Amino acid sequence: MKYIYLIGLFFYYSTFFGQTDSSETINNKFELSFGQSILFIPDDKLERIAQRESIIVPTNSILFFVEFRPQKKLRVPLYVNLPTESKQFFIDSVLVNEKANATGGFGLQYKCVKVSISKATVAEWEMGALSNLLISKRNRFRILPLLNGRIRLVKNNNFVMYLGTSYSFGVNSWGLFYGTGFLF
């Protein structure tokens, strides 16, 4: 409960640091982007693997990302993350593979900061809380909380490039994601 309170305070105070959007009109209500993410193995497995002197290889995946923007600062993202390879790690010089799970989810994001870089380019920092739907090895569904943030570069009010990070609390895993998209 303490963490929810701190996250709420962060979003409240971040409104004082963001620029006001009263002068701009928002014509683009959706963002559609494709990217890649790197998913890291959860902490509990890391401990077991580390005891056997191993090296962990991050898992790559394809990221499909759609964002609905009903207000200037509030966004509703929907994503699907499909692994392109298995989870891999070396144990005593032997490569071990394990099936990587597909994930997806939705939630709310908030534009915390907006900075103009040039007439045509702006940088934005978004943070949000999402749900993370996992499909486990036994084809069971699990819904877990996910906290994420990303830095977006928007050019000509339609082209987007972004770099972000996420942390899933239920499986204690961290991820890095990046991609390009289009606002329409």
Residue 6 sits in a domain whose CATH number is 2.40.160.20
Closest CA to 130 of 166, 171, 172: 166
88-91 long-range contacts (CB < 8 A, ≥24 apart) are 88/56, 88/57, 88/59, 89/41, 89/49, 89/54, 89/55, 89/56, 89/57, 90/54, 90/55, 90/57, 91/49, 91/52, 91/53, 91/54
Whole-model pTM: value is 0.74
**pLDDT value of residue 18:** 43
Q: Which domain covers residue 25, as residue numbers?
A: 2-183
Lookup: tokens for 16: 């004082």
**pLDDT value of residue 139:** 76
Query: Domains in the chain: how many in total?
Result: 1
Torsion angle (degrees, nearest 10) of CA 59, 177, 145, 5: 140
pLDDT one digit per residue (tens) for the chain, 184 residues? 445 554 554 544 444 444 444 444 557 788 898 888 876 666 566 666 656 656 667 788 999 999 998 888 999 999 998 999 888 877 777 888 888 888 899 999 999 999 999 999 999 999 999 998 887 767 788 888 999 999 999 999 899 999 999 998 877 788 899 999 999 8
Rounded to an integer, what distance in angstroms lies between the CA atom of residue 38 and that of residue 133? 17
